[in-house]
Amino acid sequence: MLRLFTKTWVNDYPWLKLAIKSVLKLCDEPIEWTIIVDNGQKDHVKVVIGQAMQETNIVPHLVKIYESGEYWPEVNGINGYYAQQWIKMNAHLVMGDGYFLNWDSDVIAVKKFNSETFKGKSGRPIFWLSQFNHLIQHGNGDIHRERMTVMKEIIGIHEVSFEYMRCMPIPMNGSILQCGSTRAEWSRAFEAIKSNRSGFSEFNIIGMFSHLYFPDCYEWRNCDSDGPTWAGGWDENGKCFQDHAFVSQRYSWGGMERHIEDWVNRL
């Protein structure tokens, strides 16, 4: 069973439809998909999901839709970009215990896959990371130093080595999130979110917290020495050109790309 979690918003609905269509077409096992929408958007996203199912003639095993106010009322009034990060940090409220994959709206499946695709030889889900010193050497040093500073403050340690927001979909564990939600790290994260703290990343906090306190829950892989990851890019014709790739993230804020839409519609 493939368990997916997505926090979406209205501007991402065209991408969400493509993501759902690509997963329905290319996943070869039953799918349970939990989708979180902003308040008042449940009926709108039902239309998007219905269109995707109608156009693929495939129905997932289970789709659950929740509005943010149902489980995370504390994000009301918080900037939407930061609010969605808090929702992901507390996804256990609707996902319960166990593993699932965070699958953002702009993540497109490009090859046949199932839940085993994202596990290593150990049988554990793979969590990709990169060394900060490598990232800084290859550009955007100020951005990465800012991320390091935020992580040190929230986790409460003097040094950090890795960045954890390296490859979608990102594995999550409801039990780890539930544990985090009871601790000071989550409280400090919420204060950073309320203040729109630049450099904050929910996946860096979740990843580092998991790496420190639950190291045996994942198979940790360095993108730079143990890659490539399962993600890849596209050529100008809309064809995934990297043979290793099972998914491609298209960064929805850049606008819909017609050749990607055409590719998914041809599946």
Strand partners, 248: 108
What token pair was written down for 116?
Answer: 């085993």
Residue 266 lies in a domain: no
Is 0.85 surpassed by the pTM of this model?
yes
Percent of the chain at pLDDT exceeding 70: 97
Q: Tell me whether residue 264 is in a domain.
A: no
CB 86 within 8 A of CB 78: yes
Query: Residue 166 sits in which domain range?
Result: 2-259
Whether residue 253 is predicted with pLDDT greater than 80 in this model: the reply is no
Q: What residues contact 17, with CB distance under 8 A and at least 6 apart?
A: 48, 51, 52
Per-residue pLDDT tens for 113-168?
A: 999 999 999 999 999 999 999 999 988 889 999 999 999 999 999 999 999 999 99
CATH of the domain at 13: 3.90.550.10
Summarised one tens digit per residue, pLDDT across range 23-60 is 999 999 999 999 999 999 999 999 999 999 999 999 99
Does a structural domain hold residue 265? no
In-domain check, residue 218: yes
pLDDT classification of 252: cutoffs 50, 70, 90: low
State residue 255's pLDDT score: 72
What's the number of domains the chain is made of?
A: 1
Q: What are the tens digits of pLDDT across the range 177-200? A: 999 999 999 999 999 999 999 999
Starting at the earlier edge strand, list the strands of the sheet with 2-7: 62-67, 31-37, 2-7, 99-102, 170-173
237: pLDDT confidence band, cut at 50, 70 and 90?
A: low
Give me the percent of the chain exceeding a pLDDT of 90: 87
